[in-house]
A and B are shown apart, each in its own frame.
Chain A
Amino acid sequence: MTELPASSEIQAAPARPWYVSALLALLAVALLLGAAWVFARVKSPYPFYGTAYNAGTAAAGFKGTDQDGRPYAFVPGDGNRVTALFFGFTHCPNICPLTLAYLDRVKAALPEGERDRFQTVLVSVDPARDTPERLKQYVEYFGKAEGIRIPEPALSEVAREYGVGYQRVEVGGADYQMNHTTATYLIDGAGKLRLLWDYTQLPQVDRVVADVRQVLETSQ
């Protein structure tokens, strides 16, 4: 960038015909959308339905008590298993039961050989009310999942590792509710966070299944 002498006359460029401008505009939009597509494919060669994490993002492990009252340790990728992890609570009226039900349908849709390598883990964000007994009842009613109770302050540490938020909300004339992040995190057999689905994406089970199968195949 250089500056003109003060006395210089600025010559305006001649206007191009409108149809040339229109053609250039179409080309620019095609280039823009094409570049976005290329960016998405470079970031994640497979077109995941969920939002992909950057490669190599490690998932955090945690310890708690399972629905049978036994000590439970989540080691990401243990046994080359792929894990769908979400945070919820058993008094949840809609999102948590639906999430469990959809993830159960995802598991059922997997080929038999792959089904055993996929597990669902629910971490309770309401350890005060979610006893192992209650968790057992809940996860078995809505499908087959591990229900994990982690007492505070360890729970908030685990939630922070996954970027999960939760807060107690008093409901007039009723027991309290918990507001919480509704994402489900998919962790591969190597212990890496691969993607997340918002709960509103889960009803498209076939697309979720495709994501899970891709992660199962690429984390042998």
Chain B
Amino acid sequence: MNTPPPVNLDPTLADLLIPAPDLLFLIPTLLVAGYYLWRFIVSRRSPEGRARWPVWRAVLFALGLVLLLLTTQSRAATLTGSSMALYMGRLMLLAEVVPPLLVLGIPRGVKINPRGAVARTLGVLLDPWVALAVWAAVIIFWNVPAGFNASVVTNTAAALLPALYLLSSLLVWSVILRPLPNVQPAGMGSRGGFGLLAALPMMSVASVWLYAPNVLYTPYVNALCLWNLSPLQNQQLSGWIMMLAGIPALALAFIQLFQWLVELTGGNEATPPT
């Protein structure tokens, strides 16, 4: 932890977006952005490349990167101790908005040697079991009050948690959206089931926050809150933020499950000629 910035108790959106560089995120983000831009420009040289990598994918990827930079390189990141809602809003942007945009930005038909180290590593990381376990561990270990107050957690939360939310959610969204099918064996049904399971830890935590009559996290019990909200209001607002942020993934999981059921019952088969 660095020396904390001054606490402005009523910050405007402009105050929240004042740049506050965080090299842990900035350098990798710029490297990824540079690599993506280079490959995108190369793909423009052929009609096949343009077909595989349409502009809308690049736009979504760029939008994801902009949101990532706004979330991690602004003063909002330094005020989360005074607002659980701001803290959760920031984490939810990193977990439920930035990752799908980045994953949707990956062009189709990416070729990875299935016997190479990259494919093997991705094959393990994008295994639904692994992605679900890592995601659940991040959500539970750093959010359940007993864990939240532990020495390791308090001393790593500010520095590590945003990165962990982003990376573990990238795994989850990659399993759901399946951008690399040649290293991702999961079919529609298992992806839908996985999405449903992955949404459960977050929805459970959100429900507890929404309906708990007391402030559950000791660092926020008597925190001096931004925007004149009480700690309990902050907690309930955090519950709403988490629940709303989780709804798109949950809806997608149901769609995938129903699509799988339709395929299972032959609903997509062509009508035989009479």
Contacts and interface: CB of A to CB of B under 8 A. Distances in A.
Contact of B52 (A3, A57, A164): A3
A47 B152 contact: yes
Interface string A22-34: 1011101100110
A13 interface: yes
A111 B111 CA distance: 66
Contact of B111 (A3, A22, A40, A161): A3
Contacts of B132: 25
Interface in A113-170: 159-167
Given A15-B185, A25-B129, A32-B138, A3 B222 contact: no
Nearest to B119: A13
A214 interface: no
Given A13-B114, A39-B156, A53-B3, A165 B224 contact: yes
Contacts of A65: none
A173 interface: no
Contacts of B82: 165
Contact of A200 (B5, B185, B221): B221
Contacts of B153: 36
Given A25-B132, A200-B218, A3 B3 contact: no
Interface string A179-211: 111100000000001001011110000000000
B110 interface: yes
A161 B8 CA distance: 13
A4 B3 contact: no
A220 interface: no
Contacts of A5: 48
B111 A36 contact: no
Contacts of B7: 159, 163-165, 181
A171 interface: no
B214 interface: no
A103 to B, nearest CB: 16
B18 to A, nearest CB: 15
A95 interface: yes
A43 B24 CA distance: 14
Given A33-B141, A180-B224, A193 B133 contact: no
Interface in A1-56: 1-6, 8, 10-16, 18, 21-22, 24-26, 28-29, 32-33, 36-37, 39-40, 43-44, 47-54
A199 B109 CA distance: 55
Chain B interface residue bracket vs A = 35 or more
A49 B129 contact: no
Contacts of A8: 109, 111
A25 B224 contact: no
By DSSP majority rule, is chain A's interface helix, strand, loop, or mixed? mixed
Interface in B211-235: 218-219, 221-224
A193 B3 contact: yes
B152 A201 contact: no
Given A29-B137, A43-B156, A193-B3, A167 B224 contact: yes
24 contacts: A1-B112, A3-B53, A3-B107, A6-B51, A8-B111, A16-B185, A25-B127, A25-B133, A29-B133, A29-B134, A29-B137, A36-B153, A36-B156, A40-B155, A43-B159, A47-B151, A51-B154, A57-B3, A161-B3, A165-B7, A166-B224, A182-B223, A182-B224, A200-B222
Which 9 A-B residue pairs are closest in the complex by CB-CB distance? A163-B4, A165-B7, A25-B133, A21-B129, A200-B218, A160-B6, A15-B185, A4-B109, A25-B129
Interface of B: 1-9, 35, 39, 43, 48-49, 51-53, 82, 107, 109-112, 114, 119, 123-125, 127-130, 132-134, 137-138, 141, 149, 151-156, 158-160, 164, 181-186, 218-219, 221-224
Interface of A: 1-6, 8, 10-16, 18, 21-22, 24-26, 28-29, 32-33, 36-37, 39-40, 43-44, 47-54, 57-58, 95, 159-167, 179-182, 193, 196, 198-201
Given A15-B186, A193-B3, 5 more contacts: A8-B109, A13-B184, A32-B138, A39-B160, A163-B3
